[in-house]
Structure 1
Amino acid sequence: MAQVLQTARLNIREIDESDAPFILELLTDPSFLENIGDRGVSDLASAVNYIRTGPGDSYARNGYGLWLVELKDSRIPVGTCGIIRRDTLPAADIGYAFLPRHWGQGYALEACQAVRDHALRTLAMPQLLAIVAPGNNASIKVLERIGFNFRDTVQLTADAEQVKLYAVQA
């Protein structure tokens, strides 16, 4: 499990198969399903498959992907945050999700700032996008606080709900 970033309170590292119990909990949480969507994860086997074919494939293909966010001192996982490359967007986007019991403590803001800086400075991306469900005001607030600006409302696939598109420039 390769360390990617560190902040004052958080380790941000690659997700590996040993993280399957946490990924199962996160991806089946009602708030994840409502704001992000069903990723087809319903048991440990499907969580391992998600790790292999989602983040794992992205690390191999792009050198980045969704990373695990854990508390630095206790190594307790609290969420995921990282960079996603979608065929349906013109540039990479930041993605993040945290378990509700860890909301309101600034972890999303802290992790997203670190990932934004890594994308724009270390990886030298000219811009970083973000997509968010229109009613997800907490995520919109995080994005705006770290410098993202609303650009448009987009539909990523023909059968998908419309989402708000945000961007930040290097």
Structure 2
Amino acid sequence: MKKGVVILQKFISIPTIESGLYMFGGHQHTVNGGWSFFEQKHQVFEVMIVIDGYQLTEIRDHDSMILGPGDGIIIDPGTLHTNSNMSKTAPMTYMCLHFDFEDIQLRSQIISLISNQLIPASSQLAKASQKMLNGIIKLCRNKSLSSDFSIQVEIEILLLKYLKQVNSLIKDPKCQFKLEKC
């Protein structure tokens, strides 16, 4: 090696990542006709998909929404809302998950573009939401395993993959932020 010649080493930087992923209160529930849940709010997002039946979702200062099979909604943190079974006699089944994460950009885009509105069953977003929730429910069927570290990591992976999909859908120019296309 000649004196004064600098050989550059290949350097690839790995980003600092702090996900702060948080989940609680996730469940699948079949409720009786006439069921309703009191007005509530959470300091996190709530994703909800109706499996069977029809749900009335009322968000304070917004129009009411009727969610049918496969329809979904992502409710903003701090949003007052109520949910009820539209039928007085027939049961209804839904799935939901309360979650939060640290990425400010994606949080802002979800809040400004897709939350607190009906996500039609035919949309990619509703299908991705249902796939993620179904996957988590499947992992949690055996209660004795649901607190196992490996299962918890699998649940986190499903939520992270879902957030990646949501991010991709928001950035897709075909969607133009119209939920029926996303």
TM over 0.5: no
TM-score (norm 1): 0.28
Larger RCO, structure (CA 8 Å, separation 6 or more) = 2
Structure of greater Rg: 2
**Higher normalized helix content (fraction of residues):** 1
